[in-house]
Amino acid sequence: MNFFSEKALSVVPYTAGEQPKDRRYIKLNTNENPYPPTPKLRELFSTFDPSALKYYPAPASDALRREIALCEGTETENVFCGNGSDEVLYLAFAAFFDRNRSACFADITYSFYEVFAKIHGVPYVTVPLDHDFRIDPEKLRAAQCAGYLIANPNAPTGVGIPLAEMEAFTASVPDKLVVADEAYMDFYGQSCVPLVRKYKNLLVVKTFSKSYSLAGIRCGYAVGDAALIDGLFRMKDCMNSYPVDSFCEAVCSVALQDREYHAETVRLVVSERERLRGSLLDLGFTVPESKANFLFAGKAKKSGGEIYRALKEEGVLVRYWDRPILRDFCRITVGTPEENRILIEKLKKILS
Ligand code: PMP
């Protein structure tokens, strides 16, 4: 007996990075922040009244949206919150694409875009990256589509598109939607958020998972013209009225308010990223310049899979994909200085 829908039978789900429990690993495989979230959360944890949880949360997450708007220099009506930016992206596919409104994205980018397109029955075109892993806006512009998904910085390469280039591109396609997925943007500092006032076709998607060290709480948001935000709300209210729970709202508000801590941890990750890239280059790896909290590293004559397996044996987890181009590389999340030191030491051992 088959109980599955055609959709459930045909879809190939996204594969998240592994979370093995067989031993303790140095976990550099899922782009989590190596630093804990703001210590100010301790206060919240001791004062949060559990009886508040007997009520449903605010369906539109108004308090958190206000806080985000304040931080991003926009208005509450320009902000939408979801259960992780993955959910926000899922809803964006539902709201803005369909079988007659196709999507376009780079051939090497966040692999969830392909899954979302398929689950929503959205045809899509992919545009190859340049030889230096850059996304070429000219090639995107030439694509026949209703809109674009651009991860900036891109995943898993870490390569960034400067703000001026994003603006020129957005301005050149006024009738097409540009979704800028800025999950890693705080490690780059070229966010398109200031452009949303000017461009009605721009939707910026961000997350608390990376620069705020809150991957475990599941909260992401979009900033865009009120009409686009309304599209996301329409889809949310067809799926889940309360995607952001009360506790999550409170946690994210506290994290947003501690600007100093956020800036300091971002600074630490960025400086460590540059140091780690230098060490990998010294070991003979090819490493495109990264603007994210991870590095895309390839070594001639060693596949990404070989390096991944050898490192796993040594207790260090990185990520690799058995797909053309990607299989020559590993994606390595920037860890603490000590974690990165051990990674380099293990790599030296493996390569010798
Ligand atoms: N966009 C990109 C490019 C990502 O790499 C990720 C993390 N896997 C996400 C979005 C989703 O992040 P989250 O759902 O944790 O907000």
- List the 79-82 sheet strands across, edge first: 79-82, 220-224, 202-207, 177-181, 147-151, 103-106, 124-127
- In short, whether 207's Cβ falls inside 6 Å of ligand 1 is yes
* Closest protein CA for atom 2 of ligand 1: 183
Task: Give the C-alpha distances (Å, rounded to integers) separating 210 from 34, 166, 230, 248.
Answer: 9, 22, 26, 15
Question: Could you tell me which of 218, 263, 209 has the C-alpha nearest to residue 71?
Answer: 263
Q: What φ, ψ does residue 106 adopt, rounded to 5°?
A: -70, 155
Residue 329 pairs in a beta bridge with 298
pLDDT in the model for residue 22? 82
pLDDT in the model for residue 193? 98
Instruction: Kindly give the residue spans of alpha helices, DSSP state H, lying in the chain.
Output: 6-10, 41-47, 62-72, 85-96, 112-119, 137-141, 163-172, 226-236, 246-257, 259-282, 304-313, 337-351
Which residue positions in the chain have pLDDT lower than 70?
none
**What gap in Å lies between CA 317 and CA 313, rounded to an integer?**
9
**What gap in Å lies between CA 40 and CA 155, rounded to an integer?**
30
In order, the DSSP letters of 285-302 are -B-PPPSSSEEEEEBTTB
pLDDT in the model for residue 15? 86
Between the CA of 87 and the centroid of ligand 1 the distance, in Å, is 9
The DSSP output letter for 79 is E
**What gap in Å lies between CA 115 and CA 228, rounded to an integer?**
22
pLDDT in the model for residue 138? 87
Q: Give residues with Cβ within 8 angstroms of 109, minimum separation 6.
A: 135, 149, 150, 151, 154, 155
- In short, whether 84's Cβ falls inside 6 Å of ligand 1 is yes
Residue 284 backbone class (left: φ over 0; alpha: ψ -120 to 50; beta: rest): left
Q: Give residues with Cβ within 8 angstroms of 105, minimum separation 6.
A: 113, 124, 126, 127, 148, 149, 150, 151
pLDDT in the model for residue 321? 93
Between the CA of 267 and the centroid of ligand 1 the distance, in Å, is 20
Amino acid, res. 120: H
* Closest protein CA for atom 7 of ligand 1: 183
**pLDDT tens-digit series, residues 197-239:** 999 999 999 999 999 999 999 999 999 999 999 999 999 999 9
* Closest protein CA for atom 6 of ligand 1: 183
The residue to mutate among 209, 217, 252, 321, having the most atoms of ligand 1 within 8 angstroms of its beta carbon, is: 209
**pLDDT tens-digit series, residues 150-164:** 999 999 999 999 999
- In short, whether 340's Cβ falls inside 6 Å of ligand 1 is no
Q: How many CB atoms lie within 10 A of CB 118?
A: 17
- In short, whether 153's Cβ falls inside 6 Å of ligand 1 is no
Q: Give residues with Cβ within 8 angstroms of 119, minimum separation 6.
A: 7, 11, 90, 93
Ligand 1 atom with least separation from CA of 16? 8
The residue to mutate among 33, 80, 85, having the most atoms of ligand 1 within 8 angstroms of its beta carbon, is: 85
